[in-house]
Amino acid sequence: MAPFVPQHTSYGQSKIVLFGGLITTEFLEPPPGRCALMRQHYRHDIEGPIPENLRKLIDSPNRPKGPPVHFHPFQTEYFSVEEGMMGIERNGVITTITPESGEVSAKPGTLHRFFIHPDSKTMTIYISVSDAGLDYQLDRCFFENWYGYWHDALLYGNGVSFLQLLSIWDAGDAYFAAPAWVPFRLTVGYWTQIALGRWLGGMLGYRPFFREYTTDWDYAVAKMKNSFFQRHLANEAYKSEAVWEDQVKLCSGPKPANADFESLTLDIHQEAQAEEIQYLGG
């Protein structure tokens, strides 16, 4: 499968609505010691007439209700519920979290997932993450790109690409464990994902960040430049682009002339010529 191309633009937005409102993410200022804070609202369904592709997704087993089981080697992820009920699975044990539960966490190395509880019509939660000071970690860059990709891949693509998923999640300190029968399954899963997502994926053109989704693009470029396998994906010519006012100034001079080769760069249609003559004649 060819490297992914985004289908919508969401950078520069503090509030991002995905899947027609099934998931709404609001980025907030993180408290000291944490590198990201989000307020998320989940629904099971969308009322009223909706596009066919969204209805098909909602009625399918792939309906977005939370991420798959994963672990973070270096960061702690924190959850609290504002409204409704959240289900969280940690190392195979599922717990129901309510507003009265307070803040719960998934420590580094904990296999976990969270989801809107089946008995909760809606769910509003806060998610924050410890700051590990890494180039690739759970932060706003990661969340913007994961949710943007997830939305476009399920609604407008052929589903989630294995290599693209590994590339984006590797950039967010998020990894999938090897099967339970594999010794040292977390370590094996970690290095397998780096080898496939970062190294192989990088060489094949799979990028972890996309300009269309990323608010702090300079930060994302700096992250990719620090990987030998991804630095060729970190283009920087955009920094030299002239602002619109300067582009207007560059266009204020006379039209260049080049001997016999300029005639067909003018509009020679008769009506256009008549309008030009009338304009010049006042």
SS (H, E, C) the chain: CCCCCCCCCCCCCCEEEEHHHCEEEEEECCCCCEEEEEEEEEECCCCCCCCHHHHHHHCCCCCCCCCCCEECCCCCEEEEEEEECEEEEECCEEEEECHHHCCEEECCCCCEEEEECCCCCEEEEEEEEECCCCCCCCCHHHHHHHHHHHHHHHHHCCCCCHHHHHHHHHCCCCECCCCCCCCCHHHHHHHHHHHHHHHHHHHCCCCCCCCCCCCCHHHHHHHHHCCCCCHHHCCCHHHHCCCHHHHHHHCCCCCCCCHHHCHHHCCCCHHHHHHHHHHHHC
Residue 269 pLDDT exceeds 90: no
Residue 164 pLDDT exceeds 80: yes
- Over residues 2-7, the mean pLDDT reads 89
Give the tens place of pLDDT for each residue, 13-25: 999 999 999 999 9
Give the tens place of pLDDT for each residue, 176-230: 999 999 999 999 999 999 999 999 999 999 999 999 999 999 999 999 999 999 9
Q: Tell the residue number behind the tokens 């290095």, with chain if given.
A: 191
Domain 15-238 has CATH 1.10.10.10: no
pTM (predicted TM-score)? 0.88
Look at residues 44, 133, 56, 27 and name the one whose alpha carbon lies nearest to residue 85.
44
Residue 259 pLDDT exceeds 80: no
- Domain spans, the chain: 15-238, 244-281
Residue 95 pLDDT exceeds 90: yes
